[in-house]
Amino acid sequence: VEQSALQNEKLAMLGKISASIAHEIRNPLTSIRGFIQLIRPYLYDIGKEDYARIILSEIDRANDIIHEFLNSSKPSAPMKENASINSLLHDAIVLIDGQALMQNCELIFNQLVTDLFVSIDVKQMKQVVLNILRNALEAVQMTDEFHRSKVTVEVNSNGNFAEITIQDNGKGMDKATMSKLFEPFYTTKSTGTGLGLSVSERIIRNHGGSIRVNSIENCGTVFVISLPLLT
């Protein structure tokens, strides 16, 4: 209880700082993006179209990071509506399908025959599922090229809860990482923010749900999100 109070405090402080900075950084990024688009044909003419592509994707990455920081500053009260688990997962998976394909990773969604319904902030919860899927894709990427990488999304009902299982056969993690991964800023990646899971954990907690993880090094990881079913 004390630890999660401290984490909330850390996130609230982060929120105040990031909200004020993000706006100032976003505006110049947007105009840079616009001007690069404008000069793109000229770069193409001199055979440097690749440069434009790299610049644009780096700008998008910077925007993603700002977006993630801003998310952590959002007021914690979710705007709940009744939503289908199948469509929540479908909508999240569509957004990351292209990345999986590009990585040659098999992304399997075992959709429910009988859909389950939950009361959630759809935007926030989609972000949660995306954060975990993104981590899964990053984890399978770091294994060797002969490895057939695979991410599976599954749903089950367990008592009064819907359980979303996201499993990957990626690099897994050791016990030390497993005990820290929900802490804000904890990351083992050179370009990571360490915010994805701490923000996700807080969102799930605000929905009366929980998240648990199991992992075996060099074998894979499974996250289970538990959300109260609509009654």
Which positions touch ligand ADP (CB under 6 A)?
Answer: 131, 135-136, 139, 168, 170-173, 177, 181, 186-189, 192-198, 221
Closest CB to ligand ADP among 136 and 153? 136
Strands 150-158, 210-216: pairing is: unpaired
Q: Which does 194 bind (CB under 5 to 8 A by kind): ligand ADP, Mg ion, none?
A: ligand ADP
226 binds Mg ion (CB under 5 A): no
Q: List Cβ neighbours of 223 (8 Å cut-off, separation of 6 or more).
A: 132, 165, 166, 167, 211, 212, 213
Asked if 72 interacts with Mg ion (CB under 5 A), we say no
Q: How far is the CB of 165 from Mg ion (least distance, A)?
A: 18
Q: Find the residue with minimal CB distance to Mg ion.
A: 196
Query: Using the rule CB under 5 A, which residue among 170, 184, 196, 220 binds Mg ion?
Result: 196
Name the one range near Mg ion by CB under 5 A: 9-17, 144-152, 177-185, 195-203: 195-203
Q: What is the DSSP string of the chain?
A: -HHHHHHHHHHHHHHHHHHHHHHHHHHHHHHHHHHHHHHHHHHHHTT-HHHHHHHHHHHHHHHHHHHHHHHTTS-S----EEEEHHHHHHHHHHHHHHHHHHTT-EEEEE--SS--EEEE-HHHHHHHHHHHHHHHHHHHHTS-TTS--EEEEEEEEETTEEEEEEEE-S----HHHHHHTTSTT---STT--S-HHHHHHHHHHHTT-EEEEEEETTTEEEEEEEEEBP-
- Compare residues 83 and 92 and give the one whose CB is closer to ligand ADP: 92
Which range binds Mg ion by CB under 5 A, 8-16, 88-96, 164-172, 192-200? 192-200
Residues 125 to 154 in contact with Mg ion, rule: CB under 5 A = 135
* Closest approach of Mg ion to the CB of residue 155, in Å: 22
Q: Of the two residues 161 and 223, which places its CB atom closer to Mg ion in the complex?
A: 223
# chain residues binding Mg ion, by CB under 5 A: 2
173 binds, among ligand ADP, Mg ion, none (CB under 5 to 8 A by kind): ligand ADP
| Site residues for Mg ion per CB under 5 A | 135, 196
